[in-house]
Amino acid sequence: MTDDVRISADIHARWISVKENVSSITARFWAHERLWISDPNFAVCRAEETSNDPDLHRLKPLLPFVRTEDPNLEGTDYLDSLVDWRRREAGVILSLVSTSGCAMNLSDNLPQLNAHGLGLLRRKLI
C-alpha cells in the first residue's frame, strides 16, 4: 500500500521541464485519491520577472563541488541557469498543479518573490 506517488520528473524553472512533464502529470490525474495522493513535484514561480533573488541563476545542482570558472567547463550546458522562463510560463505549471487537485509543494524562496511572483501565486494557487 502506498500513500502518495510522485507523478512527474524534476521540475525546474525552465520551459523544457514543463513540456517534458505535462503529459506525465495529466496522464495520472485519474489516479489521484483513487489509488494514491498524486505528487506532481514542486509548484515553481521563480523567474526574472517574479523574483528579486540575487542568486536566481547561481544554482548549479550538477556542479556541487566544481568551480564554475573552471576552463574545462567551457562550452558545456552545465553552466546554464535552471531559470529561463517568463512569468506566463510559470503560470502554466502553477495552473497545472492547482487544477490537478494533487499535493502542492512550493519550492521558491518566498521572501525573494516580488509583487509579480506573489500575485501569480495568489491567483493560481489560492
pLDDT score, position 73:
57
Closest by CA position to 4, among listed 33, 42, 43: 33
Contact 1, 16 (CB under 8 A): no
Contact 10, 76 (CB under 8 A): no
Q: Name the strand (E) or helix (H) holding 118.
A: helix 115-125
Instruction: Phi first, then psi: give them for residue 64, nearest 5 degrees.
Output: -65, -30
Contact 87, 13 (CB under 8 A): no
pLDDT score, position 85:
86
Task: Per residue of the chain (126 residues), give pLDDT as tens.
Answer: 578 888 888 888 888 888 888 888 888 888 988 998 888 888 889 999 999 998 887 766 555 555 556 666 555 555 567 788 888 888 888 888 888 778 788 888 899 999 999 999 998 887
Domain residue limits, the chain: 4-56+82-125
